[in-house]
Structure 1
Amino acid sequence: MHKRIEGPVLYLDFDGVLHPDAAYWINGQIVLRCEGRSLFEWAPVLAECLEPYPEVQIVLSTSWVRVLSYNKARAWLPDSLAECVIGATWHSSMNRYWWDGLSRYQQIRLHCMRHGITRWIAIDDDLTGWPDDSREQLVATDSNLGIAAPDVRSLLLRKLEGLWK
């Protein structure tokens, strides 16, 4: 039996959200191949947006968890965000090949069902498989601009506020 998660949840992708989607696993290291940019450069933007909403719990929906492990992926986040992380959609006991065949939306929905989550939003640049009737829960980002784009930040703030209505 999976633990029921109470309260609002934010499903968080890393690539294309907290930095440009140009991060690669090379010789055992994560390298951002995007000149003039840095890994997690937009994490402070997310932290600032979440500041008025301390009840929001973050679930990592990033492939970093599968590649690195939950603890190592979480450790890349600044403390203010890492302390809000309560889990991940991926778990090492899962079949990797089956998991990789699911869309990000399907991965999130499975997590919601396992944990009884009804109030949630996701920030992601991967829109594949998102049905129209669930787009209201998605904060879609441009892979190169992430949450640094002013319109995305405004949308995130509106959706966060909506979690309490």
Structure 2
Amino acid sequence: MPTHLAVMNPVLYLDFDGILHPADVRVTPEEPLHPRVFVRGKPTDEPLFRYVSLLELLLYPYPELRIVLATSWVRAFGYENALMRLSPALQKRVIGAATFPAPTRFGTISFDAEERGLTNWLSLDDDHVGWPEERLHQLVAPTNPYLALVEPGVAATLATMLEALCAGVPLDAVTNVARSTSTVARLFALPNVTEAEVLRALEEDARVVEILRQARARRDNVI
């Protein structure tokens, strides 16, 4: 695993369960190395890491951004195994893992950030237990354990916070998070929506966010 060195690039602390697939992922004594998504207490064949391509799309405009793994997968299956679950493009961004055994995920991340000398970081994690109120601006957290990253509004919130993070804007100064209704939110109001339609909608939202980002950049350059 890479050693902890001070990093000047913006950093995203990345959880897996409840972010890249539904939150309830378990192994059984019969298959100790074969994690499965559980729904209502029963194992399913739902694909793990189904939203990796979406995360890759959302991070694409920010090549300078780095990732630190903040997931129980590192403890359960090892750093290299966890790393290889990501796409090659995301793997290239990973600089290590947060593994300090704190009582809360916030404790683990904050210790890791201090050790690395980080000041410009954001966490994408569904575990907000113990997260201080005054630090919630550094957390993007889905609340639906099944929808994870495709929960309405989450991708839009992440896109907004990533733009601020990578522009060096203090995250506690961001006031327009998920202000408008996303394509995904509109889709979820309709009956019989398929996963493919949701993913296409997320791609559309991400493209809109990138267009707006480029427009703001051009405006700022003119000013």
TM-score past 0.5 threshold: yes
2:48 pairs with 1:39: yes
* Paired amino acid for 1:11: Y
Which residue does the alignment assign to 2:115?
114
- Note the 1:68-147 alignment, pairs <5 A: 68-90=77-99, 99=101, 101-142=102-143, 143-147=145-149
Question: How far apart are 1:36 and its partner, in Å?
Answer: 6.4
The structure number with the bigger radius of gyration is: 2
Question: How far apart are 1:48 and its partner, in Å?
Answer: 0.4
* RMSD value, Cα: 1.5
Identity %: 38
Which residue does the alignment assign to 1:57?
66
Cα pair distance change 1:55/1:109, threshold 3 Å: same
Question: How far apart are 1:32 and its partner, in Å?
Answer: 1.9
Matched-pair contact (CA < 8 Å) for 2:36–2:45:
no
Q: Tell me the distance in 2 between the aligned counterparts of 1:78 and 1:158.
A: 23
Q: Tell me the distance in 2 between the aligned counterparts of 1:2 and 1:152.
A: 30
Tell me the matched-pair count: 157
* Paired amino acid for 1:30: P
Q: What do the CA deviations read for 1:60-83 (whole angstroms, capped 9, x no partner)?
A: 000100111111100011112111
Question: How far apart are 1:6 and its partner, in Å?
Answer: 1.5
Which residue does the alignment assign to 1:16?
18
**Unmatched segments (≥5 aa) in structure 2:** 170-223
Matched-pair contact (CA < 8 Å) for 2:13–2:69:
yes
Question: How far apart are 1:2 and its partner, in Å?
Answer: 4.0
Higher-RCO chain (CA-CA 8 Å, sequence separation at least 6): 1
Matched-pair contact (CA < 8 Å) for 2:20–2:49:
yes
Which residue does the alignment assign to 1:30?
35
Residue 153 of structure 2 aligns to a residue in which SS? helix
Stretches (4+) displaced over 6 A: none
Greater Cα shift, 62-71 or 19-28: 19-28
Q: What do the CA deviations read for 1:88-124 (whole angstroms, capped 9, x no partner)?
A: 001xxx6xxxx1x520001000001101100000011
Question: How far apart are 1:31 and its partner, in Å?
Answer: 1.7
TM-score (norm 1): 0.90
Q: What do the CA deviations read for 1:22-52 (whole angstroms, capped 9, x no partner)?
A: 2112322212224463100011111000000
**Unmatched segments (≥5 aa) in structure 1:** none
TM-score (norm 2): 0.67
Residue 107 of structure 2 aligns to a residue in which SS? helix
* Paired amino acid for 2:139: L
Between structures 1 and 2, the one with greater helix share: 2
Q: Tell me the distance in 2 between the aligned counterparts of 1:44 and 1:111.
A: 26
Greater Cα shift, 104-113 or 29-38: 29-38
